[in-house]
Structure 1
Amino acid sequence: MKLLITGATGKVGQHLLSSLLADPRHAETQVVALCHNRSVQQTDRLRVVRGSIADPSVVAAAMAGVTQVLHLAAVKESPDLAIDVSVKGMFVLLEAFRANPAAKRFVLLSGDCSVGHIFQAYPAPITESDPRRAYPGCYALTKVIEEVMLEQYGHQYGLDGCVLRAPWIMEKDDLRYAMSFGDDQFGGPAWSDLMPQETLAAARAGNHVPVMRDANGAPLRRNFVHVDDVVSALMTALDHPAAARQTFNIAMAEPLDYGQFAAIMGRRTGARPVDIPTSFHSNWLDCSKAGLLLGWRPTVDLETLIERAWRYERAAEDPRVVWYPG
């Protein structure tokens, strides 16, 4: 196997590279990392190609002899980059892949933004057959376009593509900072957009945890997934026969329930809940298809996610990195 990875320097890419190169099952796998602004260290099994994903000559050089592609690269809410990187870059990658006689499978890491995340209401758990209904913003739009492009290349050219659709990907202490009322809050939505200033100030002054409530007034249920489970799903999808031309939801077995989260934190730390009314909708990504066809199941549940996030201690050489606004 010869694997091309885009986004190798990102949150998922770094974990994937270390897992892949350490896995005895991939001892013979050669890896090409297509890097632009940041890079990784080359080894005897890892070659780096520098340049833009939207440059056909750069992509062609990276694609030579590649059997599988893992497309992890993305830009978030950056309208000035969305078309050139996400749309043109996807097209250039697909064109180079279908022209490559060694090509076997193209795996795209997508997101639940393509089905609207907490912005769109669903009457039942969200499956892979539900229509794409993106939430506002260019990032969600480009993920829909990428998914459709890969799907159409299957119809048009018989290309073997697989989509893994993940929600907010957690690592290290991400969850702790996602739930922080301080200026160090990670991701979104920002509490200042949802709470009166005096309520937010009071929450910051004590030991409190947020309980977002959905449009019906119930504690919001929102999907998360740990990066370890994303990596295991990606490595499974690389060559699993049942992944051919399929889309899979990849998430925790149950969404994070803000009410359950507050109860756990109350027992652990004595934190008191702060209700935050929102217009968001609770949703539930159904991952049973991945379990049935791939044998993939998440290993990190809510209790484990909390334990890891609150136990994690950062070293001086391990600064917090906000990979994207959230």
Structure 2
Amino acid sequence: MRVLLTGATGFVGRGLLKRLSTQGGLQLRAAVRRQESAFPESVTVVQVADLRGDTDWRQALEGVEAVIHSAARVHVMDDQAKDPLAEFRAVNVAGTLNLARQAVSAGVKRFVFISSIKVNGEGTASGKPYTADDTPMPVDPYGISKLEAEQGLQALSQETGMEVVIIRPVLVYGPGVKANFRSMMSWLRKGIPLPLGATGNKRSLVAVDNLVDLIATCIDHPAAANQTFLVSDGEDLSTTQLLQRMGKALGRPARLLPVPASLLQAGAAMLGKRAIAQRLCGSLQVDIGKTRELLGWAPPVSVDDALRKTARAFEAG
């Protein structure tokens, strides 16, 4: 089977590239804006323009049977765009649907779309996880754009018969992770006392190896056709528990102060950092029962093994 991967140089894309380039029975083609690094010899690299509504995908799609679409304008804190929703729509909606329509014309049988849990919303009450079949309630422009892309793909599937698989990951971590996750590892390595010893929240995370395994499963699993899946490690952690286990993986005990989460959230609100406090103190859980039952899938990597692998890469610099 010939598979086209978009976003091959991104965080998830690199994991997919490593996995799929050695998977028997697949001929992998990677679409990139520019070739910045070496690719495995087994991978065919095709240069494509930016992901927009008028991008020409014909060469990249020639002979392709399945597309894994992981390229996107990703969520960023403090977006400086004058109209963030318009920018997200130009890439994540118009760009995605343009690719999908050309995929139909090229005879592609299945389109695997990497969406986001932000389609479901920004947080859950503890013990009440999101499910794949909940009514979507996105809040920010990124989540709205991902939902609109999902809806456009589903309509295109009904019209044309091309199978669409939607995967909504939670926070993805692993070797090379950046943003808040890397910051927390840096704080722990330096031994900085953190006021996060009494959070009591619950959050679902997904190791990049687990996400990649599910995506690989969805390329040709018959039961995946025209379904939406949530994905996580299958074990939810409070921020306190995550820091403790991250510290263990790094070989540095977490120095955590038991400051009540309510005080942290109040202080963050006064400083204009409400979104950061929500990520550290709020809950966001997902139920992956549908993913397990319909696909017979389980996360192959445990949280602690994934944290150790992430820590080794972090320490190696």
Where in structure 2 are the equivalents of 1:152-301 lying within 5 Å? 152-172=155-175, 174=177, 178=181, 180=183, 207-209=192-194, 211=196, 219-264=200-245, 269-274=252-257, 275=259, 276=261, 277-278=264-265, 280=278, 281-301=282-302
Q: More displaced, 80-89 or 268-277?
A: 268-277
Q: More displaced, 242-251 or 218-227?
A: 218-227
Letter in 1 for 2:256: P
The residue that corresponds to 2:142 in the other structure is 139
Indicate how the Cα distance of structure 1 residues 49 and 271 shifts in structure 2: closer, same or farther if over 3 A, else same. closer
Letter in 2 for 1:129: D
Deviation at 1:44, TM superposition (A): 5.6
Unaligned runs of 5+ in 1: 186-202, 320-326
The residue that corresponds to 1:64 in the other structure is 62
Indicate how the Cα distance of structure 1 residues 122 and 246 shifts in structure 2: closer, same or farther if over 3 A, else same. farther
The residue that corresponds to 1:53 in the other structure is 51
Paired residue for 1:89, among 86, 95, 119? Answer: 95
Indicate how the Cα distance of structure 1 residues 227 and 262 shifts in structure 2: closer, same or farther if over 3 A, else same. closer
Deviation at 1:176, TM superposition (A): 10
Deviation at 1:81, TM superposition (A): 3.5
Deviation at 1:95, TM superposition (A): 0.9
The residue that corresponds to 1:306 in the other structure is 307
The residue that corresponds to 2:12 in the other structure is 12
Indicate how the Cα distance of structure 1 residues 293 and 210 shifts in structure 2: closer, same or farther if over 3 A, else same. farther
Deviation at 1:39, TM superposition (A): 4.7
Tell me, yes or no, if the aligned pair for 1:166 and 1:249 is still in contact at 8 Å: yes
Using the alignment, how far apart are the partners of 1:55 and 1:62 within structure 2? Answer: 16
Using the alignment, how far apart are the partners of 2:3 and 2:286 within structure 1? Answer: 29
Deviation at 1:204, TM superposition (A): 11
**SS state of the match for residue 69, structure 1?**
strand
Tell me, yes or no, if the aligned pair for 2:131 and 2:288 is still in contact at 8 Å: yes
**SS state of the match for residue 235, structure 2?**
coil
Indicate how the Cα distance of structure 1 residues 153 and 210 shifts in structure 2: closer, same or farther if over 3 A, else same. farther
Using the alignment, how far apart are the partners of 2:52 and 2:111 within structure 1? Answer: 17
Deviation at 1:282, TM superposition (A): 1.5
Indicate how the Cα distance of structure 1 residues 310 and 210 shifts in structure 2: closer, same or farther if over 3 A, else same. farther
Using the alignment, how far apart are the partners of 1:314 and 1:90 within structure 2? Answer: 37
> How does the TM-score come out when normalised to structure 1?
0.77
The residue that corresponds to 2:268 in the other structure is none
Tell me, yes or no, if the aligned pair for 2:35 and 2:47 is still in contact at 8 Å: no
The residue that corresponds to 1:194 in the other structure is none
Deviation at 1:229, TM superposition (A): 0.8
> How does the TM-score come out when normalised to structure 2?
0.79
Deviation by residue 1:80-132 (Cα, 9 ceiling, x = unmatched): 6423221111110111112223x2100001111111133x5587221111111
Tell me, yes or no, if the aligned pair for 1:52 and 1:58 is still in contact at 8 Å: no
**SS state of the match for residue 13, structure 1?**
helix
Letter in 2 for 1:105: R
Deviation at 1:59, TM superposition (A): 1.2
Deviation at 1:75, TM superposition (A): 0.9
Using the alignment, how far apart are the partners of 1:160 and 1:221 within structure 2? Answer: 34
Tell me, yes or no, if the aligned pair for 1:115 and 1:134 is still in contact at 8 Å: yes
More strand by share: 1
Give RMSD over aligned pairs.
Answer: 3.1
Indicate how the Cα distance of structure 1 residues 293 and 81 shifts in structure 2: closer, same or farther if over 3 A, else same. same
Deviation at 1:45, TM superposition (A): 4.3
Paired residue for 1:129, among 130, 133, 158? Answer: 133
Indicate how the Cα distance of structure 1 residues 34 and 287 shifts in structure 2: closer, same or farther if over 3 A, else same. same
Unaligned runs of 5+ in 2: 266-276
Deviation at 1:37, TM superposition (A): 4.8
